[in-house]
Structures are given as C-alpha cells and as structure tokens.
Structure 1
C-alpha cells in the first residue's frame, strides 16, 4: 500500500476509533496531520491486538497473548527499519518513523505496556500506575512530539508531552473502572485500595461504592495535574500544533472532569463528551494558543527518569 492509501486508511481508523483525537488532529498543519494519523493507526492496531478489540470496542480474551506481543514487536521492528510488512498499520508506522526519526525505544516502551497487560499485571503503588501509563500512553505523547518537530534530545519538552499521555490514560482508567473490573482488570494501585479497605477483585462491591468513588476522584485529580503540566509544553510548539494539543487536552480533560462530577455515575454508564463540547474546546483552545500563557512546574510529578 502506498503512502497516500496508508494515510486514507489511517484517517478512517482515527475517525472510527476516537472522535476526540480525530477532531483535534484537524487543527494540525497538513503534513503534521497526516503523520499524526499514521502514528495513531499503528497505536490503535497494537492496542486492539493486545485487548482483542476493534477500534477500542468489544474487549475479548486473546488466546495466546505472548505470541501476539511477539508478533507485534517483530512487525514494529521490521517497519521501523524501513521494511514492508504487508500489514497497513505497521507499514504506516514505518513511514512516519522514517520521515520523523521516531526513536525505536519509544515504540518498544509502548509495546512493553501491552506485555504488562498480557501477564495480568497490577500496580502496587502510584508510581507503578504512572509507569504503566507512560508505557501505554506517555510514549505516544513523546512520539507525537517528535512528529510535531520536537527533537528526541529535548528531554524537558518530551517530559511535558509524556505528561499529556499520562493525563489521557489516567482519564481513561477513571472512566473505565467498571469495564475493566468486568474484564478482570484493576489499575487502581494496591496501596490506594488497602487504604480504602478495598480488594482489587471486588472493587465493584456495592457496599464499598463510596470508597471506590473517592479513589476514582483521586485518579481524576491526578489527571488534572498532568494536564496542567502538558499545557506548559504546548506553549513551545508551533501555533497550529499548540492549538491542536490544547484542544485535545481540553476535550480529554473534560472526560476526567465529568467522571469526577458524576460522583459515581461513571460506574453505571460510560462518560463521554458531546460534539458541542468538543467544538467549544476547539474555539477555547484557539484563544489559549494565541495568549500562550500557561505556567506550571513539574515538582512532584512522575518523570521518565524513574523507569525501572
């Protein structure tokens, strides 16, 4: 499949898999937009392979997860090296990796996150949770920064890009507590559960709902901290990229804010943002991108330097 057709397939994938990201991506300059779609195409495919999903929907049991992860690594390595794999999402990654110089270690780190899920890993501490969020989402933030022209040696700005990925993933985890529990997963740190008197295999126990709602709110507050940090990094990007990043931060940040405001409602029904809210953030982010005045230090935030 040539580059043009890969871009068309990638666009269809992001429009099906994430309306929030699809809408924000349209704010990028044309070349950056195409590259963002190509990267998303591969990320979405890897996530779907790991979870037995179709564009993030319908989680099912993966028969041989270790074999799936090994195949993912093999195709990613081949694509990153410039080989054709015959698998469009991986070939899309090969194109954008070659064009932008995406470091292979970031791709490897992302797949390491799926390997954690494959072996039924659960976080013991808050740092464990944040390291997992780095693997499955912070890496994507770093790769997107490279796609937007950030040097892979600009560690300070990559840390801010990583923060946006952490914010997104923490919002996802807060929103999906009930869905994850149904699939036998729990991403709430064991130390948090112990403090609240909860057990990871019984987080949905009706008698413990109040304690669980408190922990979900704690996740949402953590997401807000990383969103604020990421906004500072966005200030260093070209205008259209800054606008797109700020719009995505607002749209996804609203998910965490809505989950917290639901006071447990997210445990009963899926939280989402409306088309009107998304459009509202696109307009609001334009103003924020023009003013470009975000300020926040990273004191106390998890950093990639803590990787084991």
Structure 2
C-alpha cells in the first residue's frame, strides 16, 4: 500500500520515498485513530498527511521524551536549532536531513505558510516552561500553535469546495477539539509530567487545584469535584466539535468521510470518559478496536462511492 500511495502522489526519488515511509510508520505506531482515518483518504493525499503527523510527533517527542540528562535549557536550544535549520531548508524547498525531507516536500507541494510552522515551534517551546494555564485565553494561545495550525495545514491537502475564509476557522476548530479531547483523556499522564492543560480558573470553580489533582493521582481515582470539572470541560469540548462539524461539508467530497470518521472516533473518547463517570485517573479512556473498525467500515463504503463520483483532482483551497 505504501508504494501505491507514493506512486499516486508522484513521489519517486528514493530518499524522498524513504522519508515519507518513515513518517507513515510513525503515524501507524503512535496515532491509531488518526492513522485509521487516513485510510479513508485517496492514496494521493496520504503521504502528505503522514509527513505532517511524523513531523509533529518528532518535535513532540523532543519535548516529552527527552534524552537522559536533558534540561529545559538544552531542550530549548535543541528546538531552536531544529527550527532554524527547518525554516532555512523550508525557504530552500529541500533538505538533506531525512527527518525533514518529507515535511518540507509536503510544504512545498501544498504551499503551506511558514507562519504555521513557526507557531507550532512556539507552542513546543511553551511546553518547556509553562506547566499551567490560568485562563481559557491563555490555553488558546498554546493551542493555536499546537492544534489549530494542524487543521490549517491539512486544509490544502484535503481540498475544499468553499473559500478559505469560510473553511479555515472550521478546520482550526476541529484541530482544537481533537487536542482538547486528548487533554481530557490524558489528565493523569500529563499531571505526572507536571502539566495541567485545563484552564485553572475553570477548575477552581469546582474547587480543583494542583493539590486536589495530586490526591487523585496518588489514589488512582478522581473525587467528586474533579469529576464535575471534567464534565464541564467535556461540555466545552463538545461545543467546539459542534462549531467545527459544518466545515466537513466544506471539504472536497473525497475527503469528507475521513474527517467525519476522525471526528466521530475522537468524540467517542469523550463518551468513554463519561461512561467512566468522568474519572480520568482510574484509567485511560480508549475506543475499542472493534468500535473503530465498525465506524471505519461504514466510512470506507462512502469513501469508495465518493471516489467514483468525484474522480477529478482535488482542488486547491482558494
């Protein structure tokens, strides 16, 4: 399947094919829900999606899975070096670094703006020194670079039947909804790393602070105030999904089943948290493989029909 995707995308140079294949492998190993959704896309689209995922995951791992002995200062220096090299190579349109080759090729093919990548690097740096977000507005600054720009980068790859000014805010909102879902699923894991990705003022309305979260972490269960706070955060996240969903109809018909599937599967994670009575410390909420496949099978049928009906090339976003 990998060879077919690369051929369909017109990617023939051996080193470039190797780079894209590496990105695909990263996506398959670490983003099960996301990877499953990409199977709904046309083969020509998939390499670019894998490249963006692989790049984001690689940078995220620099921050979250540092080498032994790394310090916030050394990690910040490492990120700055990577960003400087990446932006220089991006301006050139090519790189001799196999880890950057695929994403730079994707950026060139789809004319992705460098400001989107700069924003992503900025949010990655925030993870090195910001451990709490006082308000929703503070969190939104972080989320623009870490989540919204991913939706904006994806938009040219997915194609749209609506003008960019209409489709872009919806794409950004979906990226935000996905990341908020991850934050809610990973409250306990993030807390172990010393981070809280939920607005402190909204948690405080339920009497939740770091001391209470620490108690929950020690006991492996969420108490009533924490469960109430999580319930409210889920409601906020569902409103963002509702804001994003009209954007699916603005996409090229071939891309709609993929994005709809991703939205459905990610929102099911919220369902699982609710099923656990909002106890995000008792275990990690996941969507079963059986459920993922059930959702995907229906989407695959819609995907095949869409490809037959809309065989023309996917238009660029204007």
Unaligned runs of 5+ in 1: 55-59, 293-308
> 2 CA distance for matches of 1:92 and 1:23?
20
| Cα distance change of structure 1 residues 117 and 202 upon mapping to structure 2, 3 Å threshold | farther
| Aligned-pair CA distance for 1:3 | 2.0
Note if 1:171 corresponds to 2:181: yes
Find the aligned partners of 1:135 and 1:209 in 2 and give their Cα distance.
Answer: 32
Match of 1:128 in 2: 138
Asked whether the 8 Å contact 1:50–1:68 carries over to 2, the reply is no
Which whole-Å CA distance do the structure 2 matches of 1:281 and 1:229 have between them? 22
Q: How does 1:66-105 map to 2 (within 5 A)?
A: 66-82=76-92, 84-105=94-115
Question: Please, what TM-score do these two structures have when normalized by structure 1?
Answer: 0.84
Distance (Å, rounded) in 1 between the aligned partners of 2:163 and 2:249: 18
- Counterpart CA distance in 2 for 1:81 and 1:93 is 13
Structural mapping, 1:172-191, within 5 Å = 172-191=182-201
Question: Which is higher, the Rg of structure 1 or of structure 2?
Answer: 2
Determine the structure 1 residue equivalent to 2:4: none
1:156 aligns with 2:166: yes
Give, in whole Å, the separation in 2 of the partners of 1:238 and 1:246: 12
Q: Deviations over 1:228-258 (max 9, x none)?
A: 2222111111222111100111111111221
**CA shift for structure 1 position 289:** 7.9
Within the candidate set 243, 246, 249, 1:235 is matched to: 249
Paired residues in the alignment total 288
Which residues of 2 match residues 190-201 of structure 1 at below 5 A? Answer: 190-201=200-211
Counterpart for residue 306 of structure 1: none
Deviations 1:39-82 (A, max 9, x none): 1111111111121269xxxxx97662211220231132023223
Cα distance, 1:29–1:182 mapped onto 2, change above 3 Å: same
State the match for 1:305 in structure 2: none
**Whose RCO is larger (CA < 8 A, sep 6+)?**
2
TM-score (norm 2): 0.82
Q: Secondary structure at the match of 2:277?
A: coil
Alignment partner of 2:149 out of 119, 139, 149 = 139
Q: 1:126 to 1:89 in 2, by over 3 A?
A: same
Structure 2 residue runs of 5 or longer lacking an equivalent are: 1-13, 307-318
SS of structure 2 residue aligned to 1:28: coil
Greater shift, 259-268 or 247-256, is seen at 259-268
